[in-house]
Amino acid sequence: MHLYRTHNCSELRLTDKNKSVKLSGWVHRKRDHGNLLFIDLRDHYGITQVVLDKKNKYFSTAEKTSSESVITVTGNVVPRSDETLNKKIPTGEIEISVDEYITESSSKPLPLEVNSDKDYGEDTRLKYRYLDLRRFKMQKNILLRNKVISLIREGMNKQNFIEIQTPILTASSPEGARDYLVPSRINPGKFYALPQAPQQFKQLLMIAGFDKYFQIAPCFRDEDSRADRSPGEFYQLDYEMSFATQEDVFNALEPVLFDVFTKLTKNFHISKPPFKRISFDECVTKYGNDKPDLRNPLILSNVTDVFKNSSFKLFADSINKGSIVIAIPAPDTKDQPRTFFDKLNSWAKSEDQGGMGYVQFINNEGKGPIANNLDKDRLKKFLEIDGMNGNSSIFFLCGKADEIMEFAAIARMKIANELKLIKENEFQFCWVIDYPMYQKNVETNKIEFSHNPFSMPQGGLDELKKKNPLDIKAFQYDIVCNGVELSSGAIRNHKPEIMVKAFEIAGYTKKDLEKQFSGLLQAFNFGAPPHGGCAPGIDRIVMLVAGEPNIREIIPFPFNQKAEDLMMNAPAEVDEGRLKELSLKISDLKKKD
RNA sequence: GGGGGUGUAGCUCAGUUGGUUUAGAGCGCCUGCCUGUCACGCAGGAAGUCGCGAGUUCGAGUCUCGUCACUCCCGCCA
């Protein structure tokens, strides 16, 4: 017989009766009847009930075994009587009658209970992550993560993408997030950086002729955390393709995502490839931002003209000063009480907005303070808006164009939530395409890249030379699911002369470019294939599939909000000797305590 | 760096307008009883700097100020 087990704790059935078996696992729960003792023995696979009575020579040892101790038991598979079946677990038809009982490792009282789904503070959970991970929910989430990753690998391999590892110690990238730096011992005073993404390497792999690359790539960024952003590190499905159009890049990813979401969720409606393509401009106009939740049927419209020179002075005056008015329809609200509208208005005020006006239509008749100040022809215009009917309402937000859209996006979700219009059990994917190549920095008034500087501008060198930079689009795109931005990608700029011009517009000289991106730039001079790719975030995909609102629930060992590992004690101070070896000196340390 | 929320037993939380003696409950832990439970049951017990510091008050877990921790958000994330 095997030293530890002949079966796992989810395997045994009635058909195994009378077999002599050996099981190992954790003491999940004990039910001590004084002269009869039940132990739920748990391993990764499930639970099997173990039973001993007073006559058993291991009885008192077993009675004293604490929760979460690891034991090995040998015994017979005994069928349970009809009254004692447990239909909740797959092994509930049998139990193990103990012949031998070995304590492999005993457990002290626990800082968090493994056998419950009780909520614990995150610092406790992270400090004792190995206990937290033993719990059912975390086992499930990590298992799901594994399935997401293996389905992705399968999907990419099937399309002949080649998985290639790129360096973890690399050069600091001048743009983008802060990167983590690693001092070099051999080159005093110099630093490596951990990659924010393998961006340049994947482009170099295309130039190296590998045609189609992918990687489950770790990415390191020194940013502050959010519920959907774990500080420190995260993973991307990084992929890149040679001789590919934007459509080719989309076609490669869509079936993989569809497969992952279809296989790993139950009773969800998932948008089928090809996913909807929405231009950046259209997206902002209709949804207020570039990460629309398409489960929400409400669409924004600009009704500035309707209020212009109207007798609703508040808006009319504001419009004369350069504001715009955005309308959000609220369908089928004829029975909504006054408080419904008041509540939303005061919500808008609590969000530091002027307020949220409205017109309520009941049998085509406009009601409310704004309706009283608008003539019939103007009111009629509202009924012509997409999604409106004679018993709908319409909300208004008035403000400066570059400020109000952001809030309109939030208000659109708020109204839809209030009216319960967001369909649960749906995953709605879309590509947002045609991003602007450049944007104006509001503070400095300078033209800068709006996304990846290596994206190919649409129209090539010609348009770069002729067009107003702010009107130039890039072959740059994002994929969005239910309002969550999964990634961005682009068809890359593989022509040095276009690149020089593109950087010149953003205020970089050829010399800057050569200095900061010498390796990549030089590579483009030795025959570079046109190429493009994308890099959806694995953690966010797992979050969506798992239905978890917090990204730390699907990462085995995440940092806390202060980017600390409470279990491993990282980051930590190091010996003076180590610092010296690295030619480092700590100065200006902020005082604590 | 800034804003909101939270902080009471090992854990999750209750604690009224500032006033009932010794600040409670459930889980966990300890002791005893219990041979068919499966979140076993029953009886008992230990366990508290009410985050910390100051203030107001006859009186503070409760009010005020400061501070720290946790959490969510803004900034940041080409």
Interatomic CA–C1' length for residue A335 and nucleotide B20, angstroms: 51
Q: Are A24 and A4 in contact (CB under 8 A)?
A: yes
Is the separation of the CB atoms in A103 and A65 below 8 Å? yes
pLDDT category, A593, cuts 50, 70, 90?
very low
Residue A590 has pLDDT above 70, yes or no: no
Residue A329 tokens read as: 């329809």
Which nucleotide across the nucleic acid strands is nearest to A112, CA versus C1'? B11
> Residue with structure tokens 């340049």?
A200
A116 CB less than 7 Å from any atom of strand B: yes
Q: Tell me how far CA of residue A402 lies from CA of A288, A399, A471, A527, in angstroms.
A: 10, 8, 16, 42
DSSP secondary structure string for all residues of A514-578 = HHHSHHHHHHGGG----EEEE--BHHHHHHHHHT-SSGGGG-SS---TTS-BTTTTBS----HHH
Report how far residue A206's alpha carbon sits from residue A244's, in angstroms, rounded to the nearest whole number. 11
Residue range A317-330, pLDDT digits in tens: 999 988 999 999 99
Structure tokens at A283: 């997206």
- Burial code (b: 16+ CB inside 10 Å, e: under 16) for A284-323 equals bbebbbbbbbbbbebbbbebbebbeebebebbbebbeeeb
Looking at every residue in chain A, the average pLDDT score rounds to 92
pLDDT at A353 (0 to 100): 80
Residue A219, SS3 per DSSP: strand
Asked if strand B comes closer than 7 Å to A114 Cβ, the answer is no
Does residue A592 have a pLDDT over 50?
no
d(CA A483, CA A289): 10
Q: What is the pLDDT of residue A443?
A: 74
pLDDT at A591: 39
CA distance A177 to A168: 16
The answer to whether A67 CB sits below 7 Å from nucleic acid chain B is yes
DSSP state letter for A272: P
The three-state secondary structure class of A168 is coil
- pLDDT value of residue A589: 55
- A419-472 per-position pLDDT tens digit: 989 888 999 999 999 999 998 887 778 888 888 888 999 999 999 999 999 999
Cα gap A507→A502, rounded to integer Å = 9
Cα–Cα dist A382/A393, whole Å: 9
Angle formed by the axes of helices A338-350 and A401-418, to 10°?
140
Give CA–CA dist A220/A85, Å, rounded.
Answer: 51
Report whether pLDDT(A60) > 50: yes
Name which of A450, A448, A464, A454 is nearest A533 in CA terms. A454
DSSP state letter for A231? S
Q: Distance of CA A222 to CAs A54, A121, A192, A563, Å? A: 59, 24, 14, 9
Query: Does the CB of A271 sit below 7 A from strand B?
Result: no
Proximity of residue A172 CB to strand B below 7 A: no
Q: Is residue A207's pLDDT more than 90?
A: yes
- Show which positions of strand B are touched by protein (CB under 7 A): 1, 10-13, 27-30, 33-41, 69-78
Residue A287 CA: distances (Å) to CA of A385, A410, A436, A542: 15, 9, 17, 25
- Give the number of residues written for chain A: 593
In this structure, is the CB of residue A55 within 7 Å of any atom belonging to strand B?
Answer: yes
Exposure of A69 by Cβ count < 10 A (0-12 exposed, 13-18 middle, 19+ buried)? middle
Q: Which of A 1-30 have CB under 7 A of nucleic chain B? A: 29
- Looking at residue A179, its amino acid is D
Closest by CA position to A250, among listed A341, A159, A148, A328:
A159
- At which residue do the structure tokens 């103007």 appear? A378
Question: Of A118, A23, A28, A105, whose CA–CA distance to A70 is shortest?
Answer: A105
Separation of CA A420 and C1' B54 in angstroms?
Answer: 49
Residue A54 CB lies within 7 Å of the nucleic strand B: yes
Rounded Cα gap, residues A478 and A473, in angstroms: 14
Q: Mean pLDDT, to the nearest integer, of A109-122?
A: 87
- With bands split at pLDDT 50, 70 and 90, how would you rate the model's confidence at A77? very high
Question: Nearest nucleotide by C1' from A566 CA?
Answer: B70
CA–CA separation, A400 and A387 (whole Å) = 25
Over residues A125-150, the pLDDT tens digits come to 998 999 999 999 999 999 999 999 99
Q: What's the rounded mean pLDDT across residues A241-270?
A: 97
Contacts of A551 (CB under 8 A, 6+ apart): A227, A228, A229, A230, A234, A539, A540, A543, A558
Question: What residue has token string 């909504």?
Answer: A336
Residues 541-580 of A with CB under 7 A from strand B: 550, 552, 560-562, 564
Q: Which of A99-113, A509-523, A544-558 has the lowest mean pLDDT?
A: A509-523
